[in-house]
């Protein structure tokens, strides 16, 4: 039996990766492994808020390494069949999921949007454009230091989409079309 599709979704905060992964899950029955959820789980394991844990992560490389170890374990288990699939495919969503898949994904997607658009999307989270820019700088510095990864290097990604002017459904449709193309299967789904 063929391995179900592995899709990676990456991008900066508020680019639409979570929404797109949720739509793939709802439409196709794909399982989702979310790096943000793993990060929140790690914070809870240490009885810290996400903000406190983020501050600790800036000086403790073991946090990023544990998060990435869990993401890579999910990818490896899916590809080797070590774990029983719980969905029709697997979506791994994190800033570095395309890098973690290391060319083994069925499709690796990078979603992006201009900073101002993403800051507007984050209004409910009380994050200013300056704070968002600082968080991204901090993340980029850690990725470079810990893994020698330049987050601006999009070479691991098969598809790059600017979601700044697209609806969530239009973004989903673009990703769906790419999945259909690379798998050779036209996925059927309920209208969203």
Residue 168, domain CATH:
3.40.50.300
pLDDT band at 139 (very low <50, low <70, confident <90, very high): confident
The answer as to whether 188 is a domain residue is no
The answer as to whether 85 is a domain residue is yes
Q: Tell me the average pLDDT across 53-58.
A: 86
User: For residue 187, is pLDDT > 70?
Assistant: no
User: For residue 3, is pLDDT > 80?
Assistant: no
Query: Residue 129 corresponds to which tokens in the numbers above?
Result: 């454009």
The whole-number pLDDT of residue 81 equals 79
The answer as to whether 184 is a domain residue is no
Q: What is the DSSP string of the chain?
A: -PPPPEEEEE-STTSSHHHHHHHHHHHH--EEEEHHHHHHHHHHHTT--HHHHHHHHTT-HHHHHHHHHHHHHHHHHHHHT-S--SSSSEEEESTTHHHHHTT-SSEEEEEE--HHHHHHHTGGGT--HHHHHHHHHHHHHHHHHHH---TT--TT-SEEEE-TT--HHHHHHHHHHHHHHHHT--------
The answer as to whether 180 is a domain residue is no
The answer as to whether 94 is a domain residue is yes
The answer as to whether 5 is a domain residue is no
Residues 4-19: pLDDT tens digits? 889 999 999 999 999 9
Among 7-11, 38-42, 86-90, 178-182, the minimum mean pLDDT is found in: 86-90
Q: Tell me the average pLDDT across 103-131.
A: 87
The answer as to whether 107 is a domain residue is yes
User: For residue 186, is pLDDT > 70?
Assistant: yes
Residues 72-101: pLDDT tens digits? 898 888 888 787 666 678 999 999 999 989
Percentage above 90 pLDDT, the chain: 52
Domain that holds residue 89: 15-175
pTM of the model: 0.88
Domain count, the chain: 1
Q: Tell me the average pLDDT across 53-75.
A: 89
The answer as to whether 31 is a domain residue is yes
pLDDT band at 188 (very low <50, low <70, confident <90, very high): low
Better-predicted residue by pLDDT, 32 or 134: 32
């Amino acid at each position: 039996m063929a391995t179900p599709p592995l899709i990676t979704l990456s991008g900066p905060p508020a680019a639409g990766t979570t929404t797109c992964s949720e739509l793939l899950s709802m439409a196709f029955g794909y399982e989702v492994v979310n790096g943000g959820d793993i990060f929140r789980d790690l914070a809870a394991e240490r009885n810290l808020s996400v903000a406190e844990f983020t501050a600790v992560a800036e000086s403790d490389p073991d946090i990023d390494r544990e998060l990435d170890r869990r993401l890579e374990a999910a990818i490896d288990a899916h590809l080797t069949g070590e774990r029983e699939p719980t969905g029709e495919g697997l979506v791994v969503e994190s800033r570095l999921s395309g890098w973690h898949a290391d060319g083994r994904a069925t499709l690796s997607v990078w979603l992006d949007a201009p900073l101002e658009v993403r800051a507007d999307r984050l209004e409910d989270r009380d994050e200013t454009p300056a704070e968002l820019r600082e968080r991204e700088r901090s993340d980029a510095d850690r990725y470079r230091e810990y893994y020698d990864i330049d987050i601006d290097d999009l070479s691991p990604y098969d598809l790059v989409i600017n979601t700044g002017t697209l609806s969530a459904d239009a973004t989903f449709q673009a990703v769906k079309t790419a999945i259909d193309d690379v798998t050779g299967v036209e996925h059927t789904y309920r209208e969203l």
